[in-house]
Structure 1
Amino acid sequence: AWTSGAYDVETDILYWTTGNPAPDWNGDLRAGDNLYSNSLLAVDPDTGERLWHFQFTPHDVWDYDGNTHIFLTDVERDGETVKAIVQANRNGYFYTLDRATGEFISATQYVEQLNWATIDDTGRPLVDPRANPVEDPDFRVCPGNLGGMNGAWTGALNPDLGLAYIPTIESCQYFQKGIVAFVKGQPFMGGLPITVDVTAGADYGHLSAIDIHTGEVRWRYRDPEPMMAGALSTAGGVVFTGNRDGFALALDAATGEVLWKFRMGGGVRSQPVAYRAGGKTHVAIGSGNDLNIAGFAAGTVAVPEGGHLFVFALPD
């Protein structure tokens, strides 16, 4: 588990999501569903007892994890109000579950490019065999290993509009299976994802507003780069986010219209936050591309990445 859990005072349940099994891309070494990986776990906060679980991607061989954030919210289904959990999973599907029982309600596609699996009536993926990693892959799998959304940042929820705002990555890859043996302290991956199509426009992104009651996409703000910043929804009907081109963005929460943009001087890969100070509401957004671990080996640790923190005061 590498994101925070959530506690529901109404059901007195603690919820945690979990990551993928290892090795990442060679499933031959871990037969079966690899239970509790890529899952949502419901836990009794007093005893630690597991109450129920739901596994999004059994036997994950694409690094999809289950670790994107969850929203505890009520949804309307078939004329009834359901206490639900919704999640935009990295595997490209937007899930709705009953948060008291773990019962599967629905899964709808929120990415535009998805071919690895469909979802049956129980919520289990029906995997296209061509999507499984092989030594010489020739099938381009969508989403890629970053997923449709990555757990390193969060989306946002507007309960009044019934919309979840999901920063989305549109990217596909070939997954190559490799031979690997476990060595303590060493990476245990079992292959690698390969990006072949590097032409302009092959990878892109959008901020998608998803109706939490139906799972349908209401609107998209499209961007030429994958969206790798979080989203913030305000009570004033505005959604804040940013893009890799270096702009902070404010959008109309109901329509997706761009209301304001500000060049930050570096790519935005942070989580916007809001707070009150001096009688005004402020929004803080960080900029600066993150440094990949591989950069240390290349001696780039001292290269400035354009990191700044900008704070904006909202009008009264």
Structure 2
Amino acid sequence: VWDSMAYDPELNQLYIGVGNGSPWNQVIRSPGGGDNLFLSSVVALNPDTGKYIWHYQTTPGDTWDYTATQHMILADLEIGGEVRKVIMQAPKNGFFYVLDRVTGEFISAEKYVPITWASHVDPESGRPVETDAARYQLANPLSEMTPEEQVKALSSMTPQELESTFHKPSPFGGHNWHPMSYSPDTGLVYIPALDIPYAFGNEPEFDYENGRWNLAVDWRLNMPTGHEGVDDTIDGMIRGFVS
């Protein structure tokens, strides 16, 4: 939990937004799969005792760094002919969520930026319906290529192949830490959105090391230069600076 929290004094509920797992790559982080609670979730707690009240997970089994730490807005809105106490969030994954903040019940989720990892959120289960190429560990053809081969492959890909190779949103999110707002006068939420494609892929021969990010994804897929100096710079960036 590194950014947004919200508090409802009437309900005495504290809402926290939970971030991603590490490594990002779920196959490496959690080989058995599963939802990985409570990653990428909005969680309601009693602030006096810390007792769990409810949660809603925006991205089950997150493997893209789609955090749910982004800002949360509390409002009372008329929905379906009744006024409901809601909590609204636009997390990294590209869907704008409206939840009942009393119970955590899912109300709605709509895309606010272009999304390729999921087609929609199922209204019955409240879970995203992932596309076939969403789990990049199985789908990205660039993962096993050299930088030179990547350049050649990208130049010859069809739009359909590019769509299955690059994902939206990127790890920067459809919305990140930038403040969003709600106007009761217009009934609109204003979101500073990002539309950035990103090529996810496994990091070859990943091994945990101190002094690096340990994401288990190959950042070079987004910079397929094959230039030794640039590759060394990228490698240094990924590993971090250790004094």
Q: TM-score, normalised by structure 1?
A: 0.59
Q: Hey, what does 2:222 align to over in structure 1?
A: 195
The answer to whether the 8 Å contact 1:12/1:45 transfers is yes
Separation in structure 1 between the aligned mates of residue 72 and residue 209 of structure 2, nearest angstrom: 34
Q: Hey, what does 2:19 align to over in structure 1?
A: 19
Deviations 1:73-103 (A, max 9, x none): 1111111111000011211100000000000
Q: Which amino acid aligns with 2:129?
A: L
Q: Hey, what does 1:144 align to over in structure 2?
A: 170
Q: Which amino acid aligns with 2:11?
A: T
Q: Which amino acid aligns with 2:215?
A: M
Separation in structure 1 between the aligned mates of residue 60 and residue 7 of structure 2, nearest angstrom: 25
The answer to whether the 8 Å contact 1:26/1:133 transfers is no
Q: What is the Cα-based RMSD across aligned positions, in Å?
A: 2.3
Q: Which amino acid aligns with 1:160?
A: D
Q: Which amino acid aligns with 1:96?
A: V
Q: Which amino acid aligns with 1:116?
A: W
The answer to whether the 8 Å contact 1:86/1:96 transfers is yes
Are 2:127 and 1:124 equivalent residues in the alignment? yes
Deviations 1:219-254 (A, max 9, x none): xxxxxxxxxxxxxxxxxxxxxxxxxxxxxxxxxxxx
Separation in structure 2 between the aligned mates of residue 145 and residue 81 of structure 1, nearest angstrom: 35
Q: Which amino acid aligns with 2:15?
A: Y
SS in 2 for 1:169: coil
Percent sequence identity over aligned pairs: 38
Q: Hey, what does 2:111 align to over in structure 1?
A: 109
Q: Which amino acid aligns with 2:116?
A: N
SS in 2 for 1:167: coil
How far the C-alpha of 1:27 sits from its partner, in A, is 2.7
The verdict on how the C-alpha distance between 1:192 and 1:73 changes in structure 2, with shifts beyond 3 A counting, is farther
**1:55 alignment partner, one of 51, 54, 57:** 57
Separation in structure 1 between the aligned mates of residue 41 and residue 218 of structure 2, nearest angstrom: 23
Alignment of 1:24-39 (within 5 A): 24-30=24-30, 31-39=33-41
How far the C-alpha of 1:172 sits from its partner, in A, is 1.2
Separation in structure 1 between the aligned mates of residue 58 and residue 36 of structure 2, nearest angstrom: 11
The answer to whether the 8 Å contact 1:132/1:175 transfers is no
Q: Hey, what does 1:82 align to over in structure 2?
A: 84
SS in 2 for 1:6: strand
Q: Whose helix proportion is higher, 1 or 2?
A: 2
SS in 2 for 1:27: helix
Separation in structure 2 between the aligned mates of residue 166 and residue 148 of structure 1, nearest angstrom: 9
Query: Structure with the greater relative contact order (CA < 8 A, sep ≥ 6): 1 or 2?
Result: 2
Separation in structure 2 between the aligned mates of residue 29 and residue 21 of structure 1, nearest angstrom: 8
Q: TM-score, normalised by structure 2?
A: 0.76
Q: Which amino acid aligns with 2:199?
A: Y
Q: Which moved more, 1:22-31 or 1:74-83?
A: 22-31
Deviations 1:111-161 (A, max 9, x none): 1x212112112221111131212363452211111111112x211121222
Q: Whose strand proportion is higher, 1 or 2?
A: 1
Q: Which amino acid aligns with 1:82?
A: R
Q: Hey, what does 1:169 align to over in structure 2?
A: 194
Q: Which runs of 5+ in 2 are unaligned?
A: 143-163, 225-235
SS in 1 for 2:133: helix
Q: Which runs of 5+ in 1 are unaligned?
A: 198-292, 299-316
